[in-house]
Structure 1
Amino acid sequence: MNLEQQWLEYDFNPFILFSHEGKIVSLNAEAQFLLGSANQKEIFELTTAHAPLSYGFKTTFLDIEFGRHRFFGITVGYIDDDTIGIKLYRFPTLNKNNIQKPEGELTNIFTIIDLCISSNSIGRSIEFVKDFDPTIPDIIINSNKLVKVLDLMYKCFLDNKKITTRVYYRIGEYIKYDEKKYSLFSIEISAKKLDQTYLHELQEYIVSTCFYLDIKEHKLTINLPIIT
C-alpha cells in the first residue's frame, strides 16, 4: 500500500466503500470493528440516506450510535454510479489517560452473576432468564466492584416479572492496554421497565470503575476485557 492507502487503513474513523447494490467493496480496520456492532445493511441505508443529490461529497453532523461506537458526523461521497463511500467521525468519549487496565483477582463471571441474581431474587417473584456463552473464561477483575455494578444493574429492573441476562463475546471488538489488544465480552441485563432512580446511582458509581456502561431504553450492558 502507498502512504495514502495506509493513512486510510489506520485512520481512527471507520471508512466503507459500497457497490451500488450495497455490497462492501473495501473498508479500513476501524470499519471492521464497527461491523461487530452494526450490520452492513443499516450502514448502507445510512449512506444512501445522506448521499449528495449529484456527484460529489456531503458532510452531515448528527449523533449516532452503534453499540459502544458513537459518532458525531459522517461524510458520504460518490463520483460515479458504481460505488459510494462513507466515513464516520468518532466521538471522543474517553480520555486516553483515564483508560486503566483492570486489576484484581482471577474471577468466574458466572459465579458473580449467580450471586447477584440470588441476592436480588429474595422475597420477589421474578423470573430470571440466563443466556450465557459458557466458553468465556475466568478473567482478572476487581470482583467487589463488579458485584456492586451488577447489583445496581439488577436493581434497575426489579419492578419487572422477567429479567434476562446475556453474556456474550463482542465479535471483532477489542481494547488496548500498553499496546496489547484484549478481546471484549458483554454482560447485558434487560427487562421491560427501567428504574431511573437506581440508574442515576449506577451512573455515579460506574465512574469510579474501569467499566464501560451502555444504556438503552430496556437494557443495560457492561463491556469487559478478557484478561486471563
Structure 2
Amino acid sequence: MTFDQQWIEFDFNPFILFNSGGKIVSLNTEAQYLLGAVDASAIYKIATTYASSSFGFKTTFLELEFGRFKFFGITVGYEDEDEIGIRLYQLPSFQFTKQKPDGQLVNVYTLIDLCISSNSIGSQTKYTKELDPTIPEIRLQTEWFIKLLNKIYVSMVGNEKIVTRLFFRVGEHIKFEGEKYSLFSIEVSSETINRKYLSEISHLAEENNLFVDLKEQKITINVPMIVK
C-alpha cells in the first residue's frame, strides 16, 4: 500500500469508489463501518446525484445522517464513465467526546425486564419485546442506565403498544483508547413520544457515556460491547 493509499485507508472520513454499475471497487475502513448502517446503493445514488455535470470533482455541503453517522458535506469525483468516488465529511462523533463507559458487568435483559415491569404496573399499555438472545453481560453504570431506560418508557406513556428491540449493529464499531468495540442497540418505539422528555433523555445518555438516537416514533440507545 502506497503512502497516499494509507492516508485514504486511515482517514476518519468514509471513502468509496464505485464502478458504473454501482458496485464497490474499493473503500476505506471507515466506509466499512458506514455500510453497516446504510446500503451501498443509497451512497451510490448520492454520488451520482451530486456529481459534477462534467468530469472532475465537486464538493457539496449538505447534512446527511445514517444511524450514528452524521455528515456535513461530500466530495464526488470522476475522470471517466467507468468509476466514481465519494468522500463523506463526518461530524465529530461521540467516540471522540465521550469516555469509555464503566461500571459493573450486568445482564442487559434483566435491566430491560426490570424497567418494563416497573412501568407496566397499573398501565393499559401492551409491552412487547424482540430481543436478540446472544448479548453477553456488558459493563454499565446500572443506576444511570435504569434511569435512562425508565425515562424513555415514561416518554411513551399513554400509547396502546410499546415495542422494545435489542439487536446487534452489524458491521458497526466504536473506538475507546485505541480499541474497537462492537455495538448493539436497544430500540424503544411507539406511535407517539412526548417530546418534553427528550432533553432529559439526552442528558441521561450523556451521563451513561452512551449515544442516543431520537426519532419521531422511536428512541435508540447504542451500547458498546465492553465485556471485561
Scaled by the length of structure 1, what TM-score is found? Answer: 0.96
Structure 1 counterpart of 2:223: 224
Which position in structure 2 is the counterpart of 1:196?
195
1:103 Cα deviation after fit: 1.5
How far off its partner does 1:17 sit? 0.6
C-alpha distance in structure 2 between counterparts of 1:64 and 1:40, whole Å: 14
> 1:217 offset after TM fit, Å?
1.2
- Which position in structure 1 is the counterpart of 2:181? 182
Work out whether residues 95 and 176 of structure 2, in 8 Å CA contact, stay in contact via their aligned partners in 1: no
After superposing the two structures, state which structure 1 stretch, 216-225 or 204-213, moved more.
204-213
Query: How big is the shift at 1:211?
Result: 1.1
Output the amino acid matched with 2:140: I
8 Å contact from structure 2 (residues 159, 190) kept in 1 = yes
What amino acid maps onto 1:75 in structure 2? Answer: T
For each residue in 1:8-66, what CA deviation from the matched residue of structure 2 results, as whole angstroms up to 9, or x when unmatched?
A: 11111000011111111110100000000011111111111111111111100011100
CA displacement at 1:78 relative to structure 2: 0.6
**Residue of structure 1 in register with 2:134 after alignment:** 135
Match of 1:22, SS state, is coil
> The residue matched to 2:212 in structure 1 has which SS?
strand
Aligned residues: 227
Q: Please, which runs of 5 or more residues in structure 1 have no aligned partner? A: none
Aligned to 1:154: 153
Supply the AA of the counterpart residue of 1:227: I
- 1:80-118 Cα distance to aligned partner (Å, 9 max, x none): 00111100000124483x421211111000110011111
Cα-Cα RMSD: 1.2
Shift of 1:178: 2.1
Supply the AA of the counterpart residue of 1:186: S
What is residue 73 of structure 2 aligned with on the other side?
A: 73
Displacement of 1:206: 2.6
Determine the C-alpha separation between the residues in 2 that align with 1:206 and 1:185. Answer: 15
Q: CA deviation at 1:181?
A: 1.4
- Contact 1:152/1:199 (8 A) holds in 2: no
Kindly provide the amino acid, as one letter, of the partner of residue 181 in structure 2: Y
Residue matched to 1:14: 14
The equivalent residue for 1:50 is 50
Distance in 2 (alpha carbons) for counterparts of 1:146 and 1:204: 12
Query: Which residue number corresponds to residue 123 of structure 1?
Result: 122
**How many Å apart are 1:180 and its aligned residue?**
1.6
- 1:140 is matched by which residue type in structure 2? R
Question: Alignment partner of 1:194: what SS?
Answer: coil
Separation in structure 1 between the aligned mates of residue 184 and residue 168 of structure 2, nearest angstrom? 4
Task: Note the C-alpha offset of 1:173.
Answer: 1.4
Which stretch of the first structure deviates more once superposed, 108-117 or 124-133? 124-133
Shift in Å at residue 175 of structure 1? Answer: 1.6
- 2 CA distance for matches of 1:59 and 1:83? 17
Q: Distance in 2 between matches of 1:134 and 1:126?
A: 24
The secondary structure found in structure 2 opposite 1:152 is: helix
Q: Which residue of 1 aligns with 2:41?
A: 41
User: Which residue in 2 is equivalent to 1:90?
Assistant: 90
- Once the two structures are TM-superposed, the CA of residue 209 in structure 1 deviates from its matched residue by 2.4
Structure 2 contact 95–175 (Cα < 8 Å) conserved: no
Q: Secondary structure at the match of 1:207?
A: helix
* Mapped contact 1:74–1:89 kept (Cα < 8 A): yes
Cα distance between partner residues in 2 of 1:180 and 1:94: 15
